[in-house]
Structure 1
Amino acid sequence: MSVRVLVAGTTGVLGRALLPVLRERGHDVVPLGVDLLDRAAVLAAVRSAAPDVVVHQASALRHPDALTRTARLRAEGTATLLETGIRLVAHSIAFATAPAGAAVLDEDAALYLDAPDPGWAATTAAVAALEASTLAASGTVLRLGVLHGPGTQYAADGAIGAALARGRYRQPADAHGVTSFVHVLDAAWATVLAVEAVVPGLFNITDDSPAVGAEWLPGLAALLGGPPPRTIPADMAERLLGWFPTYQLTRLRGASNDRARQALGWKPRFPDWRSASPPR
């Protein structure tokens, strides 16, 4: 059944993937053309569009203060969208969980609210606010894995992909952190299913192959034609790479996609980070 979908966040890599799929499925798609942090403008735009469902995937990753701005979009922007009373499908992140317990976690795992990095602590606090408010309103939250594919940091022309191809990325000696990736097209397809299924709840949208840093980092470098990353001592990693890359490669937990498979009928067409194209 066709529905009218208002999408907040249409110009980024995921927006460019999502809109064509929604339209191919016969849905009437309306981009939100106002600043999500302008409450009055958002409420007026939603009233004018009169959608059946709102998709919130807005971020500000190219903003000079990307973490702070994205946190506001997740917390304040979500609250404004929920004021409208329209059913919400909101994007969250599967890699905001605390680094405790099993190597691969489900949706019941605690978020990393006490992260030692202030930027990441603010990010997880905003994620918690988005998830709690959306779930309280019987909405759907999709916790996306680390995006890969065209337009992402891990593509050949992305920041990390280009650095790996040129031999300019470093690997900590203790690269045992687990990353769960998801291809942008798989993330888009999961969003379409959430729009259509009307299943409230919290779902990890990740591929089938959580991978440790010592596996995927040199593996991706090889796929991109680059040399193996040079190994650096663990105690030098944060200074050379930054807090989050070091955390991702050494302590991050992966995320299970079992709940999304069962409740949404979704499964990834790109089974792991190596996948350049879906299987035939």
Structure 2
Amino acid sequence: MRVFVTGATGALGGHLVPGLVAAGHDVTATTRTPGKTARLREAGAEPVVLDGLDRAAVIAAVGDAAPDVIVHQMTALGNDASGFRNVDRLFAATNELRTRGTDNLLDAADMVGVRRVVAQSYAGAGPERRPGTRLKTEEDPIDWKPLKSATQAPAAIRHVEEAVPARAREGVVLRYGGFYGPGASQPLLDAVRKRRVPLIGGGTGICSFIEITDAAAATLAAIEGGAPGLYNIVDDDPAPVAEWLPYLAEVVGAKPPLRLPAWLVQPLAGPFIVTQMTGSRGYSNEKAKKELGWEPRYASWREGFRAWVA
């Protein structure tokens, strides 16, 4: 097929583009940075420099490529952990790409007659209003706890999850867990090594992870088949922060994380980080495994973390 991948030089795109080429697809891959086009060409794709917020340019680029599938992986994420004190400010550019950028791609898909649109979402975009241990499925309603500094980011995620299935001929939204692995989340490793990631308030929040090459494999499966709709792309082993964070510290050879009460951390880290580490829920991957025919190579972050650090 002809596949148009936006955000192709991001963490996931670095694995997805070579995978698509290896599978025999004709890939057009976009980046905002001219200096990254050589990397895309070396991977076997036709590079295009594109601003996802430029509607006319997006429509023209999609028209030139005439793809069967558009893959929406556009983000503008940085590595400044201190920015989580104000999540909306930190994610401002990404929020625009997930709202206006998504609409631009959907407009282009409609005009060009693109069959399928596969878009990136996130498992855990906001802390839960009603925390619990039961895993969230694709059928569960979004019920994030409202925070003053994190309203636009969850709203942008919601826009992707609602607009793509509603407007695309075949709209697929992949709700990824937390990325780790080659080319992903290096700042987390560095911070854990320096004991800069404390265990907050007991670490009762449940996290769902996905190793980055497993995420790319799931994306390839969603490009090639599966019914339209929403899929949780996570591993088989959601776990509380109190379990995975000390384990990661052990794997990287660091001392155990500091244990700090929530009231002490919140003025410095902000309410988003505190509530995420104490009130998030895990996600189920049963639908993706059943309907996409996909299985994560790293069924648990335990084996995945060790492979990552090795």
After TM superposition, the score normalised by the length of structure 2 is 0.83
- Pick aligned residue for 1:91 from 95, 98, 120: 120
Q: Does residue 107 of the first structure (1) align with residue 138 of the second (2)?
A: yes
- Pick aligned residue for 1:183 from 176, 198, 211: 211
1:244 positional shift: 3.0
Aligned partners of 1:113 and 1:167: how far apart in 2? Answer: 29
Aligned partners of 2:132 and 2:202: how far apart in 1? Answer: 17
Q: What secondary structure sits across from 1:254 in the alignment?
A: coil
Out of 131-140 and 186-195, give the one that drifted further: 131-140
Q: What do the CA deviations read for 1:131-188 (whole angstroms, capped 9, x no partner)?
A: 11111133100000011112222xxxx2221121122321113210000000110110
Kept in 1, the 8 Å contact 2:79–2:187? The answer is: no
Kept in 2, the 8 Å contact 1:113–1:121? The answer is: no
Aligned partners of 1:187 and 1:219: how far apart in 2? Answer: 22
Aligned partners of 1:7 and 1:63: how far apart in 2? Answer: 23
Kept in 1, the 8 Å contact 2:3–2:67? The answer is: yes
- Residue of structure 1 in register with 2:297 after alignment: 269
Q: What secondary structure sits across from 1:139 in the alignment?
A: strand
Q: What secondary structure sits across from 1:132 in the alignment?
A: helix
Out of 24-33 and 235-244, give the one that drifted further: 235-244
- Residue of structure 2 in register with 1:35 after alignment: 51
Out of 129-138 and 99-108, give the one that drifted further: 99-108
Q: Percent identity?
A: 41
Kept in 1, the 8 Å contact 2:131–2:279? The answer is: no
Q: Which amino acid aligns with 2:277?
A: L
Aligned partners of 1:254 and 1:4: how far apart in 2? Answer: 35
Q: Does residue 78 of the first structure (1) align with residue 102 of the second (2)?
A: yes
Map 1:124-143 to 2 at 5 A: 124-136=154-166, 137=168, 138-143=170-175
Once superposed, what is the RMSD of the aligned Cα atoms? 1.8
Q: What do the CA deviations read for 1:45-92 (whole angstroms, capped 9, x no partner)?
A: 000011110000110003995411111111111111111222200010
Aligned partners of 1:19 and 1:50: how far apart in 2? Answer: 17
Aligned partners of 2:140 and 2:151: how far apart in 1? Answer: 16
Give the gaps of 5 or more residues in structure 1.
none
Q: Does residue 224 of the first structure (1) align with residue 222 of the second (2)?
A: no
Aligned partners of 1:101 and 1:232: how far apart in 2? Answer: 20
Out of 205-214 and 195-204, give the one that drifted further: 195-204
After TM superposition, the score normalised by the length of structure 1 is 0.91
Give the gaps of 5 or more residues in structure 2.
31-48, 81-88
Q: Does residue 58 of the first structure (1) align with residue 65 of the second (2)?
A: no
